[in-house]
Amino acid sequence: MDQFTISPSSGVPIYKQLFNQIERMILNGYFTQGDTLPSVRQVAAELDVNPMTVSKAFGLLEERGYLTRLRGKGMLVAKHGNEVSKQEKLKTLNQMIHTLITDAQLMGVNQQQLLELFEKNIAKSNSIKTTNKDYRK
């Protein structure tokens, strides 16, 4: 079940790491409506964490409307409309960008340097996409 990974030394609480991973997996279509997630006990055993940590992540996902709890069946991925999904993706990306900016500031990277890095990575990503399209022809 190596679906989830955590980094205990990252400084990010484990429940938050798990929440973020599952949220992205749902938004990106890895988990789709009606999919059953592994049980709290299964995830806790696989990650070697306290089941309450996993339960907290699942509870937050349920609270935000990503998961639905069905007695005897565990947690299912709830229905998400395309528009809601787009909004959630943008919200998640915005949070990631905010974290990136904060981390860059803590490292002493100024706005211009960060923009240059971002532009280089976008250009690199675009060239990879172009290469992949050319390869498929």
Are 20 and 58 within 8 A, CB to CB? Answer: no
4: left (phi over 0), alpha (psi -120 to 50) or beta: beta
Q: Which CATH architecture has domain 14-77?
A: Orthogonal Bundle (1.10)
Domain residue ranges in the chain = 14-77, 82-136
Residues with Cβ < 8 Å from 114, sequence gap 6 or more? 100, 101, 104
Please tell me the distance from the alpha carbon of residue 77 to that of residue 70, in angstroms, as a whole number. Answer: 11
Task: Using pLDDT thresholds of 50, 70 and 90, give the confidence band for residue 137.
Answer: very low
Are 117 and 107 within 8 A, CB to CB? Answer: no
pTM: 0.63
pLDDT tens digits, residue range 31-79?
Answer: 888 899 999 999 999 999 999 999 999 999 999 889 998 887 788 998 7
pLDDT tens digits, residue range 88-110?
Answer: 778 878 888 888 898 899 999 99
How much is the average pLDDT of 6-16?
91
